[in-house]
């Protein structure tokens, strides 16, 4: 898969995750928010929490679950980026880190991907 195809599949996965979150009553505030420490895939709020959502997509679990890719190094990058976001966008909402796992065997052609939302993942 080329870099372009991978980015397109990643965007598709983020759109799937955003749709799931909207269905649960979340408002998507930002998508692909970037700072010098990295990127936050989705930033969403539900009235009680400001969620920094990492989206991970896999065609299968041959190399482990998608969420397993959010290791301690990735978590540190996400925390650092979230701190920058919170300085720039103060809020009274409780911050939380969520992970959305997407299993899409046919990639973006998958009619019904399996989507799992892990609240307060780390």
84 backbone dihedrals φ, ψ, rounded to 5°: -60, -45
pTM of the model: 0.93
The model's pLDDT over 52-100, given as tens digits with 9 standing for 90+, comes to 999 999 988 888 888 999 999 999 999 999 999 999 999 999 999 999 9
Band of pLDDT at residue 1, cut at 50, 70 and 90: low
Q: What is the mean pLDDT of the chain?
A: 95
6 has a pLDDT exceeding 80: yes
Q: Give CA–CA dist 79/82, Å, rounded.
A: 5
3-state secondary structure of 81: helix
Strand partners of residue 50: 45, 95
């Amino acid at each position: 898969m080329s870099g372009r195809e991978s980015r397109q599949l990643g965007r598709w996965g983020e759109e799937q995750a955003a749709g799931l979150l909207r269905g649960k009553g979340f408002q998507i505030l930002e998508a692909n928010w970037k700072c010098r420490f990295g990127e936050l895939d989705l930033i969403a709020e539900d009235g009680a929490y400001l969620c920094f959502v990492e989206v991970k997509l896999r065609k299968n679990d041959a190399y482990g679950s998608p969420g397993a890719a959010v290791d301690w190094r990735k978590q540190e990058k996400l925390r650092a980026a979230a701190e920058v976001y919170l300085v720039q966008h103060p809020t009274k909402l409780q911050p939380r880190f969520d992970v959305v796992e997407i299993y899409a065997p046919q990639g973006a052609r998958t009619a019904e991907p399996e989507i799992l939302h892990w609240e307060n993942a780390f």
